[in-house]
A and B are shown apart, each in its own frame.
Chain A
Amino acid sequence: MRGHGWLALLVLGLCSAAQAEEQKFKACFIYVGPVGDIGWSYAHDEARKLTLKEFPWLETQYVESVPEGQALPVIDRLVKGGCKAVFTTSFGFMDQTLEAAKKYPEVVFAHATGFKRAPNMATYMADFYQVYYLNGLMAGALTKTGKVGYVAAFPIPELKRHISAFALGVRAVNPEATVNVKWINSWVSPTKAREAAEALMAEGNDVLAFTEDTATVVQAAGRKKVPVFAHYSPMHRFSPDFVVSGQLVHWEKIYIDFLKKVRDGTYAPGKLQDVDYWWLLREGAVELGAQPGMPINPKWVDALKKAQMTVEGKPVSVHDRVMTLLKDMSSSKPGFDPFQGPLTDRQGKARVPAGKGMSIQELNQMQWVVPGVVGPVADEPK
């Protein structure tokens, strides 16, 4: 009998251990690129790791380099593997994520950068447009030729929004300056990014910014001693002398908030139809700088302090303007918005009336670009 008692205890113990195991919540991530791209997918994966650290009850799994259009079979596999929440992290995964949400109504889905939702599918975005505006101010102050180059991935609304915000910043300092765009039609392509950057510099652009998921443009600009703005992840180390600033993302702010609410039942299947994260500087989802804690590279602070611009009739230094706006837009009630009207597109058509801003939906579906952007822009309204 005594022996049996031990056995019963052992079985009980195993059961409760198994139960503890079952209580783990599995969240899965689908990336469009390799996690080592130093860009988009890398940032999402860093956020996944930080989120994992936050919650002891969480386990995660990720699949990288999933071609857009092949998300569904991957989701099938993940759901079969026990995923209760699936994050799909590329615009091109949108329709397949929606399809999967219908197929697996008990699973929670969240799609980054999209605009389609379902009762069990939310959308989220950490957007850079404010940060791009601040970068634009600095670029406008630093260009001597009045030509700022931009290596751009795809002509989608996100890029048009960011290039436009950047150009608005450039022109706020230097009204005659242009932002010259070269499209490479690829998220990750070091060879294309390199040659596009070289072409821009050959055309006389003396400051560069970009949207591509490697540090290629930073390296190419650094070799030619051209100031450059880093994109997406800490790239200061790639060219410590010539990276002026850049954009940094903190997806973990969203992941932690989202999963906490899934765990406590705030976000359950059926409750996600209207859940759309559109997190900016205020929520800490994005940061100005080329590495955390360094909004402007100290090597460029003097030049930016010397550069002057006019704000409401008064001269201020570009450096101070950047810092003032950064503080304002990081506060709980920002007073400034880069897309504050009146705004026209580059054909001269009025787009945002005076005193108005743009809604999230308008920003998400923005097909036009502002004056000062030079180069072909696909799907631009006539």
Chain B
Amino acid sequence: MTEEVLQALLRALSFGTPLLLATLGGIINERAGVVNLGVEGMMAVGALAAFGLASGSGAWEWAVGLAALVGALAALVHGFVTLTLRANTYVSGLALSLLGLGVSGLLGKPYEGAFLFESAPELPFTLAAGGLAVLLWGFLFFTRPGLVLRSVGENPAAADALGIPVLAVRYLAVAFGGALAGVAGAFLSLAYQPAWTDGMTAGLGWIAVALVIFSGWHPLRAVLGAVFFGLLYYLQFRLQSQSQVPTELFAAMPYLLVVGVLALAGVRRSRGAAPAALGRSYQRGER
């Protein structure tokens, strides 16, 4: 029995790793007041970039770095469109998701069906993601730069009045979010399934977007959320033919939970712990 629980927990940690990485990125993004629905696309380009480099060189550490860079660059496109050009942040994010999937599919053609002889170990990713959650928690709530970041998301005008470069902070946060989404993709194509398949992100980016809300924009709760969602995903197969509960219920659970949480927040007529200026662009002098 304990062995089975341990097994399930290990699978939850493995599947939860890309979710946690992308969610942490999303939390930092949104704490600075920027919504980025492009996680799925950024993960896809990160996965491809990492796979492309690793399959050529075999050095997965560099591949992870490249995935972070590519993810950040993709996110900066979103940043430029929404922060500088002040276009609709939701439309831009959706476009980034579709674009990322499309571009990775197109550029990934030569790698279709390729795989890595030497796959990357999963454990370092999992440990790094967990450690990062603690670090970001400390950063957000116990450091001055963390306070600055949050103030930009809560009240950009006040932050601006205090001399904080609102736009720069938001750009940084967006780039950071993209980098983590890229690393999440790298985990998929280097360790989880060390091969390239078009569309291998399989909607994980969208679960991460939901997890940001589910975790209440809190890095430590994101760990719980990612493990919990990972567990649900594994259990839909583990419990198949072992229990009377239809496994479709487990498959639908993440989305049911997100809807439930959003509905509750709506009932309470609050936005939960959402940053007050979330999703609103800021321009000096505008109210």
Which residues of A pack against B, CB within 8 Å? 34-38, 42, 65, 180-184, 188-192, 194-196, 198-200, 202-203, 214-216, 219, 237-238, 374-376
Q: Which of B11, B111, B200 interacts with A190 by CB under 8 Å?
A: B200
Question: Please, what's the 1-or-0 string for B4-20, where 1 marks a CB less than 8 Å from any CB in chain A?
Answer: 10011001000100000
- Knowing A38-B113, A191-B202, A238-B115, the reply to whether A181 touches B234 (Cβ < 8 A) is no
Docked CA distance A42–B11 (Å) = 30
Partner of A194, one of B113, B192, B196: B192
Query: Which of B87-95, B213-221, B237-245, B274-282 interfaces with chain A?
Result: B237-245
Does the CB pair A202–B238 fall under 8 Å? yes
B241 A375 Cβ-Cβ under 8 A? yes
**B244 to A: closest C-beta gap in Å:** 10
* Cβ–Cβ contact B197 & A214, under 8 A: yes
Q: Is the interface of A mostly helix, strand, loop or mixed?
A: mixed
Q: How far is the CB of B221 from chain A (nearest CB, A)?
A: 23
Distance in angstroms from B219 CB to nearest chain A CB is: 24
Known: A34-B112, A194-B192, A214-B197. A181 touches B15 (CB 8 A): no
Q: Which residues of B contact A196 (CB under 8 A)?
A: 237
Partner of A183, one of B112, B198, B240: B240
**Min CB–CB distance A251 → chain B (angstroms):** 17
Question: CA separation between A276 and B234, bound complex, in Å?
Answer: 41
Please measure, in the bound complex, the distance between the C-alpha atom of A375 and the C-alpha atom of B199, giving whole angstroms.
29
Task: Indicate if the CB atoms of B15 and A34 lie closer than 8 Å.
Answer: no
Known pairs A65-B198, A238-B195, A374-B241; list 5 more (Cβ under 8 Å). Answer: A35-B112, A180-B241, A191-B200, A199-B237, A202-B7
Q: Does B271 belong to the interface (CB within 8 Å)?
A: no
Shortest distance between the CB of B46 and any CB in chain A (Å): 16
Shortest 7 CB-CB distances between A and B: which pairs?
Answer: A36-B112, A375-B241, A199-B237, A199-B238, A196-B237, A190-B193, A34-B198
Among A65, A190, A194, A237, residue most surrounded by chain B Cβ atoms (within 10 Å): A190
Can you list 12 pairs linking A and B with CB atoms under 8 Å apart?
Answer: A37-B197, A184-B237, A188-B197, A190-B193, A191-B192, A191-B202, A191-B204, A194-B193, A203-B238, A219-B194, A237-B115, A375-B240
Q: Which residues of A contact B8 (CB under 8 A)?
A: 202
- CB contacts under 8 Å to A, within B226-277, are 233-234, 236-238, 240-242
User: What residues on A are CB-neighbors of B108 within 8 Å?
Assistant: 36
Q: In the complex, what distance in Å separates the CA atom of A375 from the CA atom of B238?
A: 11
| Alpha-carbon gap, A226 to B7, bound state (A) | 17
Within 8 A of A (CB), among B105-119: 105, 108-109, 111-113, 115, 119
A346 to chain B, nearest CB (A): 13
**B11 and A181 contacting across the interface, CB-CB below 8 Å:** no
Are B197 and A195 in contact (CB-based, < 8 A)? no
Cβ contact of B199, chosen from A188, A194, A203, A238, cutoff 8 A: A188
Q: How many Å lie between the Cα of A180 and that of B15 in the bound state?
A: 23
| B198 and A195 contacting across the interface, CB-CB below 8 Å | no
Q: Which residues of B contact A37 (CB under 8 A)?
A: 112-113, 197-198
Q: Which residues of A contact B119 (CB under 8 A)?
A: 219
Q: Are A190 and B237 in contact (CB under 8 A)?
A: no
Residue of B nearest to A42 (CB): B113
Closest residue to B251 on the A side, CB-wise? A185
Q: What residues of B have a CB within 8 angstroms of the CB of A375 in the complex? A: 240-241
Residues of B within 8 A of A36 (CB): 108-109, 111-113, 196-198
- Which of A195, A200, A215 contacts B115, CB < 8 Å? A215
A202 engages B4 (CB within 8 Å): yes
**Chain A residues positioned under 8 Å from B202 (CB to CB):** 189-192
Give A326 Cβ to nearest chain B Cβ, in Å. Answer: 27
CA distance A206 to B244 in the complex (A): 25
Measured in the bound complex, the distance between the Cα atoms of B194 and A237 in whole Å is 13
Distance in Å: Cβ of B242 to nearest Cβ of chain A: 8
Residues of B within 8 A of A183 (CB): 240
- Which residues of A sit under 8 angstroms from B240, Cβ to Cβ? 182-183, 199, 375-376
On whether the beta carbons of A195 and B112 are closer than 8 Å, the reply is: no
Rounded to whole Å, the gap between the CB of A122 and the closest CB of chain B is 29
Asked if B193 and A182 make an inter-chain contact with CB atoms under 8 angstroms apart, the answer reads no
Q: How far is the CA of A238 from the CA of B196 in the complex (A)?
A: 13
Most buried by B among A36, A180, A184: A36
- Determine if A195 and B11 form an interchain contact, defined as CB atoms under 8 angstroms apart: yes
Cα(A162)–Cα(B238), bound, Å:
23
**A residues near B198, Cβ cutoff 8 Å:** 34, 36-37, 65
